[in-house]
């Protein structure tokens, strides 16, 4: 086995999965704790629906793809049952956060809660055969499609009349979600949705000339010279590129794979911190100060998604530049994010690569990017 | 004149005021540009209502309190007219942001837009005698009082049923706003509002045992062991303490002044970064990782409000510890925030005190904390 494939497989199975199994399961009220200190101790018990869905997805995915380990299915069920019982309002929209017992704290303003719940129900349903989960996956997916053009609904504070912006996140996530739910959906709907997403991502949000991916565009697809319109999130664009590579593989579309690889390398070169190493979180396309005070921080998910994109790009195109960059990002990540003493990865580093928050999980970091990234790198490089 | 009084007066009149007069006035569409590069160049033209109100207030305040300079009144009028024409929705609520021309971009979800507009109309009305401004100050103030128990209204994403939190910001700002509008308001309303604010700030949000000020409490005044409930914003608590000192002076209440001084020193000692100097932005009372990724950054307003609180505390109590701390915060601030080359102060430093964003103004930093802080320090120390 390729040496990198072995490193990522071993870290996944011997470090990351056991870390979450040991520290995150709430056997009393169900669901998962995600606010975990450096050593895994729970420091807050609120339950964020993104992370409940993501962890349930991760364990069901491991069950489906790695090994039929009944403990993994059971761990997934812990989150699935909690989401079924507490996750939704009367209309089937997913709350953003709940307290430990499942009482809702924050309204369903964030459609990505629904996206990650749908992914979880789909993987768990396929793993267990539970019909209720399969039905919930489909109904939640349909609800997302209905809400997609006004995802925040009544909670939106934006007045769209004078600067009608549209965001990159939703078509990007839908392109992945659609593949996740493929066995449960109508074939034509799948093809149409994937085609629409690829078009949005690669022909609208991707600027073909600069090979940059924008986070926000005007509704007609043109650039907006505003804070939102100038915003670049290199890790986000790179993550989307490996979703595109998965679609390229499915379609055997070499041109799409090559373009996604070129965009990955371009965003990485643009986003790489030439002084301290690592990939910046946010940049302004014109070089102005971004609004995000955390712009120069180094985030775990950005680096994992980049490793996945580079591994897949190398596997699909054989471009040696992908392996050079993979080695560079690998070195940086394992030096700064990994915690050999207590396991798992830190989430947030400052620009210099020093630990900014000594946590392994919080409001946004759960059991998702680290295990998914490690699984994807392992599989992409296994036969290289 | 006291040497510090001279430094702050000279910086205010010879550096800060001219900087904003030179770079921020939009003579074409009215109002002010606030997104200014290091050298004052405009890098974005959106108009944030907080900052429109704050700059109009600053120039009218200088006119009322420092010198009857007609250019200052005219500069204030530029923002006042823009706010009158574009700032409000049909119900008299103030939008959060507008584009350069005044078209609304973000709904009136943020009641502090209304607070700073009311301050601006009051100062400008008193400076110019403009009855429309005086009327708008009063009607906006009344609207704030009506909205105070549900300030975000329909834009709130919080479900209050299971964790009914209340915030420190509004009673804190109201205690200052009430003094700002005093000449325009019914005397009994002023007394009642001030009394209620002092009670909330000093008997509810201040924990008398630890002398800590909490940002959020449960409705019954008890602590909430949650991210919101554990949050400490040292600069915010310290700013509130000089509002309390102003009320103490007005009432000749030595006990209130002494308590506000003690809280200032305690929050400063707690919030001071013993490794790199400067005051942290956010801390978790139990020492857990805060949710705010910007927690360790050093912000201009935190340091200016602290200088004001220390200067006033020294003037009112004579406690030498206040002057020791004043000198320490003064040294830090002028070394790291001031920009002798291009003028004004940087807004955002990283933990080490290095410039994080090379701007003099943006979405949240405008012509307010720097000039107000300098004016307040000058006046507090003038006769010391």
Q: How far apart are the first and last CA of chain A?
A: 8
pLDDT number for residue A318: 97
What would the mean pLDDT of A29-38 be, rounded to a whole number? 98
pLDDT digits over B168-217, tens only? 999 999 999 999 999 999 999 999 999 999 999 999 999 999 999 999 99
CA B302 from centroid of its chain's CA atoms: 9
Q: Which residues contact B38 (CB under 8 A, 6 or more apart)?
A: B339, B342, B346, B358, B359, B360
pLDDT digits over B56-109, tens only? 999 999 999 999 999 999 999 999 999 999 999 999 999 999 999 999 999 999
Q: Which residues contact B139 (CB under 8 A, 6 or more apart)?
A: B92
Judged by a CB distance cut-off of 8 A, whether residue B104 touches chain A is yes
> How many CB atoms lie under 10 A from the CB of residue A273?
15
State how far residue A73 is from chain B, nearest Cα, in angstroms. 31
**Test mutation, A288, A301, A302, A362, chain B, max B CBs within 10 A:** A288
Judged by a CB distance cut-off of 8 A, whether residue B296 touches chain A is yes
CA distances (Å), origin B313, targets B1, B185, B204, B239, B257:
18, 28, 22, 12, 7
Q: What percentage of chain A has pLDDT greater than the value 90?
A: 98
Q: How far apart are CA B260 and CA B198, in angstroms?
A: 11
Judged by a CB distance cut-off of 8 A, whether residue A103 touches chain B is yes
Q: What percentage of chain B has pLDDT greater than the value 70?
A: 100
Judged by a CB distance cut-off of 8 A, whether residue A296 touches chain B is yes
Contacting residues of B for A295, CB less than 8 Å apart: 357
pLDDT number for residue A384: 85
pLDDT number for residue A308: 98
> How many CB atoms lie under 10 A from the CB of residue A281?
23
Contact A107 B157 (CB under 8 A): yes
Judged by a CB distance cut-off of 8 A, whether residue A37 touches chain B is yes
φ, ψ of residue B27 in degrees (nearest 5): -70, -20
Q: Which residues contact A19 (CB under 8 A, 6 or more apart)?
A: A40, A343, A344, A360
pLDDT digits over A58-71, tens only? 999 999 999 999 99
Nearest CA in chain B to A224: B44
pLDDT digits over B236-253, tens only? 999 999 999 999 999 999
Vertex B290, ends B289 and B296: CA angle to 5°? Answer: 95
Residue A236, both tokens: 């986000």
Q: Choose the closest CB to A226 out of B44, B226, B350.
A: B44
**Test mutation, A289, A347, A356, chain B, max B CBs within 10 A:** A289
Judged by a CB distance cut-off of 8 A, whether residue A347 touches chain B is no
Q: How far apart are CA B234 and CA B297, in angstroms?
A: 12
Contact B104 A348 (CB under 8 A): no
What would the mean pLDDT of B128-150 be, rounded to a whole number? 96
pLDDT digits over A329-360, tens only? 999 999 999 999 999 999 999 999 999 999 99
Judged by a CB distance cut-off of 8 A, whether residue B293 touches chain A is yes
Contact A99 B162 (CB under 8 A): yes
Judged by a CB distance cut-off of 8 A, whether residue A288 touches chain B is yes
What would the mean pLDDT of B367-374 be, rounded to a whole number? 98
Nearest CA in chain A to B360: A289
Could you say which DSSP state residue B181 is in? Answer: T
State how far residue B126 is from chain A, nearest Cα, in angstroms. 33
Contact A163 B357 (CB under 8 A): no
pLDDT number for residue A383: 87
pLDDT number for residue B303: 98
Residue A50, both tokens: 């993104």
pLDDT number for residue B58: 98
Q: Please determine, for residue A144, whether its predicted confidence score (pLDDT) is greater than 90.
A: yes
pLDDT number for residue B1: 82
Nearest CA in chain A to B225: A44
Mean pLDDT (chain A) is: 97
Contacting residues of B for A294, CB less than 8 Å apart: 293-294
State how far residue B323 is from chain A, nearest Cα, in angstroms. 32
pLDDT number for residue B219: 95
pLDDT digits over A227-256, tens only? 999 999 999 999 999 999 999 999 999 999
pLDDT digits over B290-302, tens only? 999 999 999 999 9
Domain boundaries, chain A: 2-381
Contact A105 B162 (CB under 8 A): yes
What would the mean pLDDT of A91-113 be, rounded to a whole number? 97
Q: Please determine, for residue B383, whether its predicted confidence score (pLDDT) is greater than 90.
A: no
Q: Please determine, for residue A297, whether its predicted confidence score (pLDDT) is greater than 90.
A: yes
Contact A294 B296 (CB under 8 A): no
State how far residue B78 is from chain A, nearest Cα, in angstroms. 23
Reply yes or no on domain B2-381 having CATH 3.50.50.60: no
Contacting residues of A for B157, CB less than 8 Å apart: 96, 106-107, 109, 155
Contacting residues of A for B351, CB less than 8 Å apart: 350
CA distances (Å), origin B182, targets A61, B2, B118, B134:
64, 30, 12, 12
Has this prediction a pTM greater than 0.95?
yes
Contacting residues of B for A363, CB less than 8 Å apart: 227, 291
Q: How far apart are CA B289 and CA B19, in angstroms?
A: 38
**Test mutation, B44, B106, B290, B351, chain A, max A CBs within 10 A:** B44
Which B positions 176-215 lie with beta carbon below 8 A of chain A? none
């Amino acid at each position: 086995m390729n040496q990198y494939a072995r490193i990522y497989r071993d870290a996944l199975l011997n470090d990351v999965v056991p870390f979450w199994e040991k520290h995150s399961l709430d056997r009393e009220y169900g669901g998962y704790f995600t606010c975990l200190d450096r050593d895994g101790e729970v420091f807050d018990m609120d339950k964020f629906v993104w992370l409940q869905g993501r962890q349930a997805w991760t364990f069901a995915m491991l069950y489906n793809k790695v090994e039929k380990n009944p403990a993994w299915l059971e761990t997934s069920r812990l989150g699935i049952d909690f989401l079924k019982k507490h996750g939704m309002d009367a209309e089937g929209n997913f709350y953003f956060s709940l307290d430990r017992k499942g009482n809702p704290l924050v309204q369903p303003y964030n459609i990505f809660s629904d996206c990650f719940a749908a992914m979880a129900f789909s993987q768990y349903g396929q793993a267990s055969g539970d019909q209720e989960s399969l039905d919930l996956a489909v109904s939640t997916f349909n609800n997302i499609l209905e809400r997609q053009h006004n995802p925040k609904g009544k909670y939106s504070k934006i007045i769209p009349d004078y600067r009608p912006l549209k965001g990159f996140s939703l078509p990007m996530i839908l392109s992945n979600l659609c593949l996740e739910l493929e066995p449960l959906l109508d074939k034509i709907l799948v093809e149409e949705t994937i085609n629409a997403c690829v078009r949005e991502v690669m022909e609208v949000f991707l600027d073909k000339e600069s090979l940059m991916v924008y986070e926000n565009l005007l509704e007609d697809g043109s650039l907006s010279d505003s804070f939102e319109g100038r915003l670049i999130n290199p890790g986000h664009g790179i993550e989307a590129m490996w979703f595109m590579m998965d679609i390229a593989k499915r379609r055997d579309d070499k041109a799409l794979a090559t373009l996604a690889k070129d965009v990955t390398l371009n965003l990485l070169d643009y986003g790489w911190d030439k002084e301290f190493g690592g990939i910046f979180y946010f940049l302004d396309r014109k070089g102005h100060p971004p609004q995000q005070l955390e712009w120069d921080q180094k985030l775990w998910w950005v680096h994992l998604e980049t490793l996945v994109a580079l591994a897949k790009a190398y596997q699909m195109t054989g471009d040696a530049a992908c392996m050079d960059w993979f080695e560079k990002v690998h070195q940086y990540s394992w030096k700064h994010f990994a915690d050999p003493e207590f396991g798992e990865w830190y989430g947030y580093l400052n620009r210099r690569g020093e630990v900014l928050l000594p946590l392994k999980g919080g409001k946004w970091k759960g059991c998702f990017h680290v295990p998914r990234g490690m699984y994807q790198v392992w599989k992409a490089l296994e036969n290289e």
